[in-house]
Structure 1
Amino acid sequence: MEINLKDRRALITGGSRGLGRAMAESFAHAGADVVIVAREVDVLAETCSSLTAIRPSGKFLGVSADISDMQEAERAHAEAVSFFGSVDILVNNAGTSNAKPFLEVSNQDWLQDFNLKFFSAAQLCRLCIPDMRKQQWGRVINTLNTAAKAPGAASCPTSVARAAGMAMTKALA
């Protein structure tokens, strides 16, 4: 299947490795310009080089930010808008597994997981969707996992944060 994203601008969180990097590479192949957001500067630089090798005429930017901090999420969005003018495609993909049994989850674990996997996604949606509506085109992709629908006994707080993301996605649709 061929997807044409020529002249589209994507912002991908967690975009320097794994699924986020694979999406960034696919978007680059499809013609999109991409801003990837992740914490590790060296991995961001390597990923941007990889994207440039895929499409030398593309525009690619790596933004080092910890989007579990709402001010950092706002800064990442501001850098994407400064680079592109606006964001057409938002991919909320940031998150690592912090799964453990419920009684082993500290208050700090809950806060960290929800800030990274849910609140940052909500914040970026609030920042990107107004421009998408104004230009009458936009897409939001929220990466979840099966534990959002069917959590296991040792899947807190990850499954709960992802379930909140699923509910938000349905509310936005």
Structure 2
Amino acid sequence: MKSAAVIIFENFEEIEATAPIDILRRAGISVCVATMNGELETAGRSGIKLVADKLFSEIKNDTFDAVIISGGPGTANVSLNKDLLDFIKKHDLANRIVAAICAAPTVLKNAGALVGKTCACHTSKEAELSEHLEKGKDVVSSKNAITSRGAGTAIQFSLEIVKTLLSEKIAKDIANSICF
């Protein structure tokens, strides 16, 4: 069974976390939601609270087939976290999927996981990611990195991860089942 870690933190963008959790679980992928906070319950930017499966500190030495970083205003608070950057770098060097949405591609950049790759990101981060930016696309798959623009592209982003981890057919079947 394929596995994925979805990383959340205080002020994460709820849709950008819950869409991948839901879509990947529909595909039969084992998803571990891990929080950067010191407690399992974490509040998103709109005050919606998620209860993570584990603390990030409990999984930072584990390996997954995909690592997914949700975006949101709290991204700035974790974008230079050494443990998170090392976690992403380890997965990138092992050619595992490193995925980020909205502001979170900056975390991939800080981890060195965008070298030689292109990305999509929220318009507020385009200047910071200009050397990697692939304009005009909502979701960009570049080698082992999958990135997306924001909350409005979260389902498309999630389906791209499923397609890459499993197959295009499974991604299409899920898209059809949710009327996407």
Range of TM-score over shorter length: 0.3 to 0.5
Q: Select the structure that is richer in strand.
A: 2
**Which protein has the bigger helix share?**
1
User: Normalised by the size of structure 1, how large is the TM-score?
Assistant: 0.36
Computing the radius of gyration from Cα coordinates, the structure with the larger value is 1
Q: TM-score, normalised by structure 2?
A: 0.35
